[in-house]
Amino acid sequence: MKAQVQPKLSKRQLAKLETQQKVLGAARKLFTEKRYEEVTLRDVVAACGLSTGAVFNSFKDKEELFISISRKEPEGYKTIAKSLGAEVPASQMIIEILEIDYEPERLHILRSQLSCAYAGSDLIGHLLGERMHELLNVLEEFAGIGSGIGLWVWSVHCDICRPMPWITNAPEHLKQDLSVRVRSLFQK
């Protein structure tokens, strides 16, 4: 069987890819420090040290840039589920899978996704839908949880992570809230 040969990129293509990566890196840092509404493309331009034209040549607007960042989440729910053993109870598995979203960088991005979806962004709403379906599939495959309970878990998760000013950013409080709610579902 022949190995697939990757096409060689031209200098121009490599430069464009490098520019996109630089913009994505700067924007990711900004979106993990501030809410979506607080980040402007001017902030991104200043943070990456490129011209405004270079940024707009890579991404047409802030929403497209944010979606690109959101799609590049470092670790998905399935990766966590695979790392847990089959002997882990369903309630604990749910908690462990969702706790990755309480890490500060992921939490800011999830909160921005939620706030954009609540504000009516269809594209980001669709992105959240993909994230929810990924979670439902993982819960069914690894924890034996049906979609009814899975949707409840997603709803609780979004409620805990919702972008409200009085909601704490402290991961330990978020984890405790999730743990209490999920364990109450599985108590007999």
What does the pLDDT look like over 129-181, one tens digit per residue? 998 999 999 999 988 888 889 999 999 988 888 766 545 556 777 888 888 98
Confirm whether pTM is higher than 0.95: no
Copy the structure tokens of residue 155: 């709803």
Residue span of the structural domain in which 95 resides: 77-186
Place of tokens 């980001």: 124
Q: Are residues 44 and 124 in the same domain?
A: no
Alpha carbons within 13 angstroms on the beta-carbon side of residue 54 total 19
Residue 3 lies in a domain: no
DSSP code of residue 6: P
Question: For residue 2, what pLDDT is reported?
Answer: 59
DSSP letter at 9 equals P
Say whether both 87 and 58 belong to one domain: no
Those residues with Cβ within 8 angstroms of residue 148's Cβ, 6 or more apart along the chain or in another chain: none
What digits encode the pLDDT tens for the residues 39-94?
999 999 999 999 999 999 999 999 999 999 988 765 688 888 999 988 889 899 99
174 and 115 fall within a common domain: yes
